[in-house]
Structure formats: C-alpha cells, structure tokens
Amino acid sequence: MLIEYSVENFRSISEKTTLSMLTSKERKKSHNLIKIEGNPNVRKLLKSSIIYGANASGKTNQVRALDLIKFIVVKSKLLNKGDKLPYFPFVLSADYEGKPTKFEVDFISHNTEYKYSFSYNAEEIVSEDLSYFKGKHEHCIFQRNRDTLEAFDDENELKGLFKHTGSNVLFLSKANNEYKPFGPAFEWFNVNLRYFEQIPKIHPRHTIEYMNKSKENKEKVLKILNYADFDISDVSGSKIKLNRSEIPEYIVDILEKEQNRPLKDGEFIKTELKSIHKRDDGQEIVNDFSKFESAGTNMFFKILGILLDSFEDHQRVLVIDEFDTSLHPDLIMYLLRIFHNEEYNKVNSQLIVTTHNTRILSSDFFRREQIWFTEKKKDTKNTDLYSLYDFEGRVDRSIEKAYFTGRYGGLPDIVDRGF
C-alpha cells in the first residue's frame, strides 16, 4: 500500500510536492478507508485520491512520476556503463539546471513499512536510501552517496554487491535477486504499482485476460456490464497467434527493434473481442466489440478488467491518468463505487486518478483529504499540489460550486480579449 510519495525537480515540478494517502481525523465516509493491522505508525490509509487541475497545470506529471520511479527501480539494472538515465528536470528556471531529480516513496509491502528515496541526473545516481520500520523505530538498511555505500545491515555482503553496481544503476534494482531482504521492497515497485497512461491507450487484453481466467470472472464482467445498462448479453475474447507473413512489414520492423532480436512465427499476438446482443426476435447478433460498441462502452470495458484484476489475490496501487475520458459521469461514479466496495475490493487495493470531471465533486463521495488540486504558479511556472483538506475547513460548502468560482485554484486562467 502507498502511504505517500514526493517529487522534486521533475518536468513542471520544481519544488517538492507530496501526495499523501494518510487520513484525517474525520469519521465520515469510512468506506473510503483501509484499516492497517500491525503498524503503530499508520492505522488507516485512503483507498483512493483524485487530482484536479487545469490543462498544463502538472497533474499528469504528478502521477507520471510514479511510472518513472517504477521504471528506474525495475529497469536500471539493465543499463550499461555510459547509458543515460531518463532525466527530465524543471527547465524554466536556471536555478535547477543540472540539479538532480529526487523521488521519495513511503509504502507498505508484506506488512512492513519501507521508506525509499533516490536522486539522480542523466549520468548517475546521486543518492539512494532504503529503510524500514521496527515498531515505531525507523531502521536504515543502507545509504548511498554516488559511488559510496554505507550499510547498516549485513555490511560486508551489501558492500560486496555494491561493487558490481554501476554509477547509473539503483542498488535496489541491481541487488534485489542476490539480497533477499530487498525482495519485498522491490516487489512493491515491480508488481504492486501499476500506471496507465490514459484509458484510450489501454488495451482491452487486460479485461480479456481477466474474464478468461475463470467462469466466475466472466460472470462478474457480464453482471457489471448489465448493471451499467449496456444491453450486452455476452462477450468473448481470445488471443490468436499470427505468423510473420500476416503482419505488415513496417510493424514487424518496429517490434523487432523494440525486442532487439528477430521475432519468430507465433510470437505475434492478435486479440479478438466480440460482443453479443439479442435481436427483438431472440436471435443473437455477434459484433466486433471495438467497432460496434460506443467509445464510452469500449473505455468502460478496458478499465473494468484493470479494476477487477486488482481485487484478486494481489494488492495493487493503480494510477490512471485522465480517468474520465469518454465516460459518462454516472459510469465514472459506478466504477468508483465498485472500487470502494469491500465485497469487490477485499484486498484493499488503492487508486489514484486525474480527471476534469467535477460531477464527482458534487456527489459527496470523497473525503476532503482525497481531493487534490494542481496549479501552475504564475511567478515561477512550477506546479503546486495541495489537498482540499489543507485548503478548506468547512464541510458544508458545495465543493463543485466553490471549485468553479476559483476558490481552490486549479482552473485555467483564460483572458478573453476577443478574436
């Protein structure tokens, strides 16, 4: 589970921003909370957070940072000497030129709370720290300063492993297989954390794979589609292996460049998704799902599998940019209610989304500390992040109305001077 994370000197974010899943003392809307067992520091966490902001205010950068964190943790071990790290500093101020980007993440994995941070530039890892909590006491495992490591557990073993860690490689990434205590922390980034860049770019295979796992899964999908009033009586999805000759040559070239090797027959996978409707005379009509169904139905189907899969035996932290694309506000609220329903989300997965849909604000569904805003500061052009709880003390105010009147910021500053 995610407790909080901080971002500094990344794209539009210059000064440190922190998004927290910690709860306030308010007792309302308990369905939005997760009870934490066995952690004296954290008793409850939020199931979700939702981020609003004008276009170009930085809300996408705030969540995209999690995707980059995961990428560097999981993939930096594959870098060769001299390879560049994905470095995107704040460029609108000379004060940040050449300064490292810094990320900090506080999370729970295998019932243990971890704190992990690293900073880097295009050429090297500048700092890296990993610690965990024993009761209320924080215990540091290692601290790294460029090519120097200070180890507080298994010093000789860790320093021996660090000798084989490149200057552009995270130690957690390099040594997680060799040093078992790193396993739970690395697993959280590799398995639990999942980022999706806008629903239209999500492939329907996630839902196809989910519903093909079992008859029960298929029934869940159909049941929810029926409740959402899509008038779909059945859905079938399958994967088909294709030969090289069946794929356009330019696509083969792209795929082989990505894999850095020739691809064989059978490695090319095509998904087929069919929807079935019943005609007025009872006859079943089979259609190509993507072509026959509306854009909103396609979006709903894509995201449904992602949500339902996060309720399986593994806990997830789902991060979705532009969650509201092509979806009716009522469908968005339906998906949110599914996610927060304890009968579905028994493993206490978490959800972080960005959206422009203010209908959610008027629904009185979220607690105040779940609602976040991004705003680009006029003087420095950098992204500011703040929650409704920090900004607003009153609980009786219409949040949607106050947002549109500019009380919370996060709106585009449009100057209408005619055409």
pLDDT at 410 over 70: no
Is residue 361 a part of any domain in this protein? yes
What is the value of pTM for the model shown?
A: 0.89
Q: Lowest-pLDDT range, 43-52, 175-184, 225-234, 266-275?
A: 266-275
Residue-level pLDDT at 392: 54
Is residue 293 a part of any domain in this protein? no
Check: CB of residue 360 under 8 Å from CB of residue 236.
no
Check: CB of residue 57 under 8 Å from CB of residue 374.
yes
Count: domains in the chain = 1
pLDDT at 8 over 70: yes
Residue-level pLDDT at 261: 75
3-state DSSP of 62-85: HHHHHHHHHHHHHHHHHCCCCCCC
Check: CB of residue 245 under 8 Å from CB of residue 269.
no
Q: In this structure, how many other beta carbons lie within 10 angstroms of the beta carbon of residue 353?
A: 25
Structural domain boundaries enclosing 334? 1-200+313-419
Residue-level pLDDT at 414: 36
pLDDT band at 401 (very low <50, low <70, confident <90, very high): low
Residue-level pLDDT at 200: 66
Angle between helices 295-309 and 215-227 (to 10 degrees): 140
Is residue 242 a part of any domain in this protein? no
Which contiguous run of DSSP H or E holds residue 17? strand 17-20
Is residue 177 a part of any domain in this protein? yes
Which residue did the predictor score with more confidence, 397 or 132? 132
What is the residue type of 120? Y
Q: Lowest-pLDDT range, 25-29, 79-83, 258-262, 277-281?
A: 258-262
**Structure tokens of 98?**
């050449």
Is residue 245 a part of any domain in this protein? no
pLDDT band at 403 (very low <50, low <70, confident <90, very high): low
Is residue 275 a part of any domain in this protein? no
Is residue 53 a part of any domain in this protein? yes
Pairwise CA distance, residues 233 & 43, whole Å: 43
Q: What is the CATH number of the domain that holds 178?
A: 3.40.50
β strands within 110-199, DSSP E: 112-120, 125-134, 137-145, 148-151, 193-196
Check: CB of residue 33 under 8 Å from CB of residue 386.
no
Each residue's pLDDT tens digit, 196-219: 987 667 888 889 999 999 999 999
pLDDT at 59 over 60: yes
Is residue 412 a part of any domain in this protein? yes
Query: Which residues have CB under 8 Å from 92's CB, separation 6+?
Result: 14, 380, 381, 382
